[in-house]
Structure 1
Amino acid sequence: MRAQKLYAGVTLRETRQKQGLTQKDFAAKLGVSLPYLNQMENNHRPVSTTVVLALAQEFGFDVTQLSVGESERIVADMREALADPVFSTTQPPLADMQLTASNAPALARAFLDLHRAYRQGQERLASLDEALGREDSAISPSPWEQVRDFFHYCDNYIDSIDRVAENYATQAKLSGPNALGAAHDWLAEKHNIHLRTKNTDVLRHYDPASRTLTLSAQAETSSKLFQIAHQTALLDHDDLLEATLDFANFNTPEARAICKIGLANYFAGAATLPYGRFLQVAQETRHDLELLANFFDASIEQVAHRLSTMQRPGVKGIPFFFVRVDQAGTITKRHSATRLQFARFGGACPLWNVHRAFETPGQFLRQLAETPDGLQYLSLARDVSKTGGSFRAPIRRYAIGLGCEIRHAGAMVYADDLDVTNRQAFEPIGISCRICERHNCHQRSVPPLERHLKVDPNSRATLPYSIGET
């Protein structure tokens, strides 16, 4: 497969401006001509290997930050948005979208926000939402969507919070044989907080007046430890959480409040599965999820989600995608450090093995998959049903998917007996039917919005229509 060219004009320009250098001085330090630097900063030419090495040597720049991940996420989102019938039948060329994502990411995000607002408006009109008749009915992204996009474009990795969580795990000795007791001792010694358990559906409740933290007696040990770490984040690192929220610049108090919970959850996950130690064990076990779960006394979902966040500059793990779906196929959690991006609207591709996980509870499903762009992946899927803790309590049923590009298969225990060199072994999957370009998919639910359809009443194949070109 041909190596992908790296266009990083925005990053180059920001690095130069932070150093207070003119283009002429910056070009001299990088060992290139002024016109060449100008072309790279404007994404007219890719960043060369010489420039990457010079950035590292002259400025101590972490070259792992020079990735196309964010641009590819934006391009994937733009492609899906531009497939909406509200736009003309002809999509802009992919090269134009890539140029916009690389050169003007803020403009691209503004476009995506506008399209999302349009979709929400259409949905409200379709359901005759009475809120449209009130003065406070201005259409804006829901608080949940704002928070989801914040983590999405942060690559699901918040460096400052990840590092303080790792430091807390070391100081509180969470790696010892009694991590739960150590976490409670930390709260007791630093904040004089009393811990108790109670038969309740509420996982965690903190009463500031009595300085009492109550945890559900039905919760597993890993869940109790997670909730204690969550409360520790709110008590010990509130300033850091608030500073991160200021940076996010949410436009509603609800989004800010939801994100604060998300940041505290991030801290808890990073504390119970500290970055350096978790990465080392993951590599030693060849990313065996069950061994990782047993080693860290965590759930399969927790370790799978943590694997998708291992993006610390300089010490990155394998780029994984992670997704959780419910029984209706709705995506409830999603993140991708790979070039595979999930649909922002609707469900995931029905050919993906994550949907079959509900049929085989307690088992890992493996799939060799290929997306329409020719990229190949190793995908794992497993159900993660969660009991309510009592006989009549409802059971929450989900399935999780975790995967990586096939070039990393050698580091995965799950690939050992798979023929990853045989292209015929790879199943074709897509992102969602509305933007999938495959012409002969037997599971297609709706036609692709950016393609012309041909309907012949005298002929019928798998589909009642054939898909033309743009």
Structure 2
Amino acid sequence: MPLVGPRIRDRRRALGVTQAALASTLGISASYLNLIEAGRRRIGGALLRQIAEALDLGMDDLDGAAERRVLSDLAELAAEPLLVGLGLDPATAPDLASRHPGWARALVTLHRAWLDRGRTASALSDRLRHDPFLPDAVHKLLTRVAAIKSSAEIVQGAQDLPPEQLRRFAVIVGSDSQRLAELAQVLAAYFERAHTAVRSVTPVGEVDDFLADRGHHFPALEDAAEALRAAAGIAGDGARDAEAALARHLARTHGEHLAPGSPPMALARRAAELACGDGALADELRRASTLSNDAARRRAAQVLTDYLAAAVLMPYDAFLAAARALRFDAEALGRRFDTGFAAACERLATLHRPGDEGLPFALMRVDAAGYLSRRVPLPRLPVPRHGSACPLWAAYQALQSPGAIVRQLVEFPGGERFVMIARTVDQPGPGFPMPRRVASLMLACDALYADRTVYGDGLDLGSNAPALPVGPNCRVCPRTGCTWRQEDPMIDA
């Protein structure tokens, strides 16, 4: 949390509290508090709540999820080719975002507006080149202009034409002028209708921002899941225990009979829609101020419904207890709850109940074409919003070994070290003869926590241990001589 330290320092100074006094209140040493304020020590959980209470701040004020997104956006801004010559130092971005958040957001807003205008211009240019309507309409327009010009020249040059012929040419000119006006109106109407606006922030991006604002954890939906489990009479913890109970509940309460053999997740999703569509789900959507259009709201509704369904099949307390017992083994958890690897990974990334958290995991899902369809970043591990991540990340390596877990200890240019694991997952496809739909799902955690997971076993997690050198993505990675580089860095090392 690179911005938490400076925020604590600024708030402490504003209140006139010394480091020693605050450290004494918290029960930690002044030197440790100094490291926290300098951004050199991570904090979370109970200590973060203690600091928030001591400084009379809300947890949201200290967590800084929105500011971390601003940092990611500032890094993209600094990587613009137009700005490379200015020698912007990405390392100064946290100080700008912390001390002058309004200016930082203004820069990001201007950058996004600039991207919007550029992409809109490109889309319009592409439309002008490729839309078959335009050349056809212009051809007809020019044909009418030529016909009018020809008739007018005849009338002008022939002074001895009989009145009958002059009237005939006048009728022709009038008729062609009318058709020309109609064509011009059609062309004008086309451009009136053809609004081509391209947003730099897509509905997917807006939903990502919404989820990040909420810390990828929704207490109201967790409560709604417990209420739905009670209403459906689900006794056990696994999906198989829930399957029959949910089918009975749907039939008894809503008169719905899903096809025999429907997956438990489909049953839970439908039950969640019917039970909470006008309640907890609708309440969360109403609070989603970052969703600016119907497409984003529809996607958010789907994501929240999936979250609620997962909470029904993998209740928080039981899942967290099992995760700790199994040392956060996603495959073992998928078997334990009968939900599979992918659902277990998604659930691991949402265990953020204050005072009873799991481990902080980043999550990323990418398909064979490189499209990122799911991203849960960490404060020191930003998953790219646009384009692809570093090709050395486990998410991409797993696509070369379908079905096998790929594990890596990686180190970023700034010295941050993470354990990454990834595996391919099959997604429902259209059937033969279309190809399978395969994606790669990756979990990552800070190396500091790796010894608490099964994925740290057998790894030397010491700070001097060998690790795979990686970067965020090629555009902003300063590593030179990387044989995996796909494009030149925008910022010199």
Shorter-chain TM-score: which interval? 0.7 to 0.9
Alignment of 1:206-245 (within 5 A): 221-232=263-274, 235-245=275-285
Deviation at 1:181, TM superposition (A): 1.8
Distance 2:223 2:408 in 1: 34
What residue number does 2:77 align with? Answer: 81
Distance 1:78 1:58 in 2: 29
Contact persistence 1:383–1:397 (CA under 8 A) = yes
Distance 1:51 1:380 in 2: 28
TM superposition score normalised by structure 1: 0.74
Distance 1:104 1:242 in 2: 35
What residue number does 2:387 align with? Answer: 346
Task: String of CA shifts for 1:66-125, please: whole Å, max 9, x gaps.
Answer: 445553343133112221123352354446421343355565445434423433433343
Specify the code of the residue in structure 1 equivalent to 2:303.
G
Does structure 1 residue 181 correspond to structure 2 residue 244? yes
Deviation at 1:318, TM superposition (A): 0.6
Alignment of 1:297-336 (within 5 A): 297-336=338-377
Alignment of 1:248-267 (within 5 A): 248-249=288-289, 250-267=291-308
What residue number does 2:258 align with? Answer: 196
What residue number does 1:459 align with? Answer: none
Contact persistence 1:349–1:432 (CA under 8 A) = yes
Contact persistence 1:327–1:358 (CA under 8 A) = yes
Does structure 1 residue 159 correspond to structure 2 residue 219? yes
What residue number does 1:280 align with? Answer: 321
Deviation at 1:412, TM superposition (A): 0.9
Contact persistence 1:5–1:46 (CA under 8 A) = no
* SS of residue matched to 2:437: coil
State which drifts further: 130-139 or 298-307.
130-139
Distance 1:416 1:184 in 2: 41
* SS of residue matched to 1:431: coil
Specify the code of the residue in structure 2 equivalent to 1:126.
S
Deviation at 1:308, TM superposition (A): 1.2
Deviation at 1:242, TM superposition (A): 2.8
What residue number does 1:17 align with? Answer: none
Distance 1:446 1:119 in 2: 20
* SS of residue matched to 1:7: helix
* SS of residue matched to 1:277: helix
Specify the code of the residue in structure 2 equivalent to 1:224.
A
Distance 2:99 2:218 in 1: 24
Specify the code of the residue in structure 1 equivalent to 2:210.
F
What residue number does 1:399 align with? Answer: 440
* SS of residue matched to 2:287: helix
Which segments of 5 or more consecutive residues in structure 2 lack a partner in the other structure?
23-36, 129-189
Task: String of CA shifts for 1:208-231, please: whole Å, max 9, x gaps.
Answer: xxxxxxxxx6x6x34333433442
Aligned residues: 404
What residue number does 2:95 align with? Answer: 99
TM superposition score normalised by structure 2: 0.71
Contact persistence 1:65–1:313 (CA under 8 A) = no
Distance 1:147 1:375, change over 3 A: same
Contact persistence 2:269–2:305 (CA under 8 A) = no
Paired-residue identity, %: 28
Which segments of 5 or more consecutive residues in structure 1 lack a partner in the other structure?
14-22, 33-44, 199-216, 452-468
Contact persistence 1:322–1:335 (CA under 8 A) = yes
Distance 2:48 2:405 in 1: 44
Contact persistence 1:64–1:314 (CA under 8 A) = no
What residue number does 2:155 align with? Answer: none
Specify the code of the residue in structure 2 equivalent to 1:90.
L
Deviation at 1:331, TM superposition (A): 1.4
- The structure where helix makes up a greater share of residues is 2
